Structure 1
Amino acid sequence: MFAHISAHAEAENEAELWTVLQKAAVAARALSYEGVFVCQTTQKTRAVQIRHLFNGQSEFSRNVVLDGSPREMLSQGGELVIYNARNKDIVIEKRRGQNMFPAVLPVNLDVVKDSYTLQAGNQERIADRQAQTLLLLAKDSLRYSYKFWVDKEFGLLLKSAMFNQQNEILESIAFNQLSLFNTVDLDWFKPNIDRKKNYVMEDESVVSAETRFPVSWDAKILPAGYQKTDQMMRAVAGKPYPVAHVVFSDGMASVSLFVEVLSKRVALKNSQVKVTLIKNGNTSFYANEKNGYLVTAVGEVPEATVVQFANAVVVNNADAAAVRLP
């Protein structure tokens, strides 16, 4: 009886914690705030100035990287434009919207619950604000775990950290300055760049989400908890066929899978298509050749995860032979 009561209490407690995390996901999108956060990885540290506004209907955000080459990111809803100084030019890139700090949590946390458990931590102070800490722990070794610091008053995410099974921190992002505002003025929503430089547009090279890949292939037996969230065909300079790009996610972590045609010369000389597994901080990269196709998986996940994704790809042999390039 007492065990049943204890289990029920634990379930209620975890439900309350998920509610706190849900509020953090919404607050990052529904509040208007400005500040500076610092992103630290095993390779580098950079500071970013952010200003985010929600006017009741749409989100507007401007991020300015304060270290290294000048770089700004302006987003409105799901549209993202990057202004990047490159030599004498200002390169303007248009991309699909991406989850950026502090909006790193999905609004729908149901899929996250399948792969992670949630525990309460201590109360700490971040950017001169009181925060509740939450531990989002991976249920297996196919993803990393996270620690979140959530503002006690407004529910905004103040800090996040990603760590592996050895409890080594792979990445941390934290506000060191933060303030909220309630104006709807958008005079600040524009890039502060050198008007004397040339402008170069580099749109995201998406052909179409409907364009059929020139070969039948499928991804079988995917790593547990990951679901397909996006797919597209990308035009790549020098390649006769678009490259298939499929995105999988467990709600927190995401993996991009690329499949492209190889020429007969490269496919026959297997020594030129090396099996490659690279680990760079919290990002893993794996590439392999399958029936004349190069399969690449990359994501902020453990190495075993990208290997499983690439190995899950099955290419139809008959179709592969029909479209093999010279």
Structure 2
Amino acid sequence: MRGLLVLLLAVCCNAVSASVDLLTNSEALSIIKRVAGASRKAGFVGTYLHQHGAELETFRVARVVDADGEYEKREPLEGVAREIVRNNGQVSCYLPDAPANPADVKRNALTKLFPALINDDAIAALSFFNVSRLPNERVAGIDANVLLLDPRDALRYTRKLWFDPSSGMLLKIASLSRKNEIVEQYAFTELTVGGVERKQIRPRYAHRIDIFTPDRNRADPARTQVDSGWEVRSIPAGYRVVRESKVAVGNRLTPVSHMWLSDGWGAVSVFIEPLPKPKHSGGDTPAKQASAPEQAKPPAAVPHMLINQGVVNVYTRSVNDMSVVVMGDVPDAVVTAIGNGIAPRVPIAR
């Protein structure tokens, strides 16, 4: 009986090892580079789903790559009718009618450009994952190769990638929590690689709103990188500060300090602004308020708070008289570490 149990255990272990093939760093790097290149440069037309939390969206997308550059049209199939067209670096949104609030259109037009989700920073961050090859699975009618990116720390989500072995195109990608629950995923339901014509990129709608214009944004002081006056002490391993700027948020009259950090797989935004001043009671006259500044109440501190919204985590706290909000599509350990590491930048003595 004991011998039979040993034999069964050996068979099970061999089956598991056969189904999960741990790749070397060079093997993983070679495959991911191929997938990234095909997903950014290949011409294709298809339909994909984007699931994040309880939300599910469907998009139709077409891309042409020729001697003149890259052209892409992305169209949500639910909600307000609109088309997001990319002409190399120029991104515009086309609508059937003029919108009541163009700023809302710009915010809603910003979306991750699946399948081109793997950039150079993400490739460089592969050292933070153990990469395994899993058995093939069908996606969009294609017998897809499957990779599992298992993080070596708590600072990244587990990623599962499905790609076309013929073209290298990314077909599906899922982000999984530590409980192995899917918190976000993109997946093609239909895909044809190649054979796309420029006419398939032309917008049908007449009203155009520019979302991003490279030359204008480089010259726009509001979008130029500036010193926010803040720093993150002890940045989580693999992350870096990509940009610092002053940005307009909502209806605020004063721009908010903004820092953007990333490891290539996830992005974190940090917003820093003065805490709102407490309102004086109606019985206090301006003269009375001015005569007793020492009795003025300090701004109400923002409570330390961690909020989870599917793939996105949000962390808030106060630093001196400033409100700090950290949010990103990263695990809660990352937004907490960045939020707790935010401090005024100490000038370098010269």
* Structure 1 length-normalised TM: 0.81
**Map of 1:279-290 to 2, 5 A cutoff?**
279-290=308-319
Mean Cα displacement is larger for which, 133-142 or 99-108?
Answer: 99-108
Separation in 1 of the partners of 2:67 and 2:208?
A: 33
Give the partner amino acid of 1:191: P
**1:20-39 correspondence to structure 2 within 5 Å:** 20-39=31-50
Per the alignment, residue 328 of structure 2 pairs with 299
Greater Rg over alpha carbons, structure: 2
Local SS of the residue matching 1:155: coil
* Larger strand percent: 1
For residues 179-198 of structure 1, the aligned pairs below 5 Å read: 179-183=192-196, 185-193=197-205, 195=206
Q: State the 1:149 CA deviation.
A: 0.5
Question: In the superposition, relative to structure 1, how do residues 43 and 23 fare at CA in structure 2: closer, same or farther (>3 Å)?
Answer: same
Partner of residue 7, structure 1: none
Unaligned runs of 5+ in 1: 1-9, 319-326
Structure 2: distance between partners of 1:178 and 1:263: 50
Amino acid of the structure 2 residue aligned with 1:226 = Y
CA distance in 2 between partners of 1:11 and 1:124 (Å) = 18
Alignment of 1:231-246 (within 5 A): 231-236=244-249, 239=252, 241-246=254-259
Whether contact under 8 Å (1:73, 1:82) holds in the other structure is yes
For residues 239 and 208 of structure 1, the distance between their equivalents in structure 2, rounded to whole angstroms, comes to 17
Deviation readout 1:210-248 (Å, 9 max, x if unpaired): 4444xx322111111111222222134654542122211
* Residue equivalent to 2:17: none
**Superposition map of 1:95-134 within 5 A:** 99-107=112-120, 109-134=122-147
**How many residues end up aligned between the 2 structures?**
302
The answer to which of 129-138 and 93-102 deviates more is 93-102
Farther-moved stretch of structure 1 (198-207 vs 143-152): 198-207
RMSD: 3.2
1:80 to 91, 102, 108: 91
Q: Which is worse superposed, 146-155 or 273-282?
A: 273-282
1:41-56 alignment runs, 5 A limit: 41-56=52-67
What's the TM-score, normalizing by structure 2? 0.76
Residues 1:270 and 2:300 are matched in the alignment:
yes
SS of equivalent residue, structure 1 residue 93: helix
Partner of 2:81: 70
**CA 1:79–1:233 in structure 2 vs 1: closer, same or farther (change >3 Å)?**
farther
How far apart in 2 are the matches of 1:72 and 1:96? 9
> CA, structure 1 residues 300+316, in 2 after alignment: closer, same or farther (shift >3 Å)?
closer
5+ residue gaps in structure 2?
A: 1-20, 280-296
Matches within 5 A, 1:136-175: 136-175=149-188
Q: Identify the residue that residue 207 of structure 1 maps to in structure 2.
A: 222
